[in-house]
Amino acid sequence: MLFKQQALLRQKLFVLGSLAIGSLLYLVARVGSLDRLQPLCPIDSRFGLRGQDEIPLRALQFKRGLLHEFRKGNATKEQIRLHNLVQQLPKAIIIGVRKGGTRALLEMLNLHPAVVKASQEIHFFDNDENYAKGIEWYRKKMPFSYPHQITIEKSPAYFITEEVPERIYKMNSSIKLLIIVREPTTRAISDYTQVLEGKERKNKTYYKFEKLAIDPNTCEVNTKYKAVRTSIYTKHLERWLKYFPIEQFHIVDGDRLITEPLPELQLVEKFLNLPPRISQYNLYFNATRGFYCLRFNIVFNKCLAGSKGRIHPEVDTSVITKLRKFFHPFNQKFYQITGRTFNWP
């Protein structure tokens, strides 16, 4: 009886073992056939590519971590070649205006998966020493990107520097130019506030805004003061229009970008011929900071630096009134040239 039970047990084990071996051989054969069916490039498989120009935009959220590593210099030439990344000259530049919201605009546009931003202000076209280094030096300052993406840089000094329009024209006569503006008097006070803060950090004294903005000899607006001069938008724009048609400019409302950013960003998407990808999901109001922050995905959020949104010093109301009256005719001309009207006093 005992021998019969042992024989039966051995028979069952043999059958189970045969089934296990057979299943294992089938799986090996199946995996082997699947491997042969896989695309040669694992990157293609991950993105579902059929060709270089068919990368789905949403899949390019992958760029956030990957391109960051390349920007830090943590990539080999082989990795760059494998991922088909390049350093491209910008196809759009935020040329100004200083204290108009250029950093906020750049960071918000970077929410779009087809946009790659230059993190630092390059100051290529407004700096003679940098410009003398040549266009290849400039290109090497650009971030890595996929060929179909567009690179954007911002240097607010471009807008007011006399040589810049011609220099940019020589690089790319069809480039798209973004100008973000705020109410001119508010922008001038913001400009002053930033300089004042820098002086205070160095324990230096600085004149009051009123003394700088108003000529003490004539009691008129001091157009030699840079903060005032920068706010005469039409004077600077006219110099740019000698090289570029108005169609290559897009004017962004910097005041509205603070309070209601999405409509302004959608207008920029359209101007840059980008498919609409930035949504209200990407923008959330931070009550503590008092302005909108950015949501790239469920994990990664970003707010602008604490230096943004500085509290302005109190300015004599008569000086504010005088400045607004001074800027008014220039503002009217600016509206006429650009075709965009603002509710500036």
Catalytic residues: 99
Q: Is 100 annotated as a binding residue?
A: yes
Q: Which of 106, 113, 71 is nearest to 297 (CA)?
A: 113
Q: Is 208 annotated as a binding residue?
A: no
Q: Is 103 annotated as a binding residue?
A: yes
How far apart are alpha carbons 109 and 250 in whole angstroms?
A: 14
Q: Is 311 annotated as a binding residue?
A: yes
Which tokens sit at 287?
Answer: 């009550």
Helix (H) or strand (E) holding 323: helix 317-338
Query: DSSP H helical segments within 115-260, as ranges?
Result: 128-131, 135-140, 164-171, 184-201, 209-213, 226-230, 233-240, 254-259
How far apart are alpha carbons 261 and 280 in whole angstroms?
A: 9
Q: Which of 257, 238, 258 is nearest to 309 (CA)?
A: 258
How far apart are alpha carbons 44 and 37 in whole angstroms?
A: 13
How far apart are alpha carbons 39 and 18 in whole angstroms?
A: 34
Cα angle 144, 148, 153 (rounded to 5 degrees) comes to: 50
Q: Is 292 annotated as a binding residue?
A: yes
Q: Is 306 annotated as a binding residue?
A: no
Identify the residue whose tokens are 């110099």.
239
SS3 category, 250: strand
Which tokens sit at 231?
Answer: 């706010």
Buried-state track 167-190, b at ≥16 Cβ within 10 A, e below 16: bbeeeeeebbbbbbbbbbbbbbbb
Q: Is 310 annotated as a binding residue?
A: yes
Q: Is 182 annotated as a binding residue?
A: yes
The answer to whether the beta carbons of residues 168 and 249 sit under 8 Å apart is: no
Residue type, 10: R
Where is the binding site, in residues?
99-103, 182, 190, 292, 308-312
Q: Which residues belong to the annotated binding site for 3'-phosphoadenylyl sulfate? A: 99-103, 182, 190, 292, 308-312
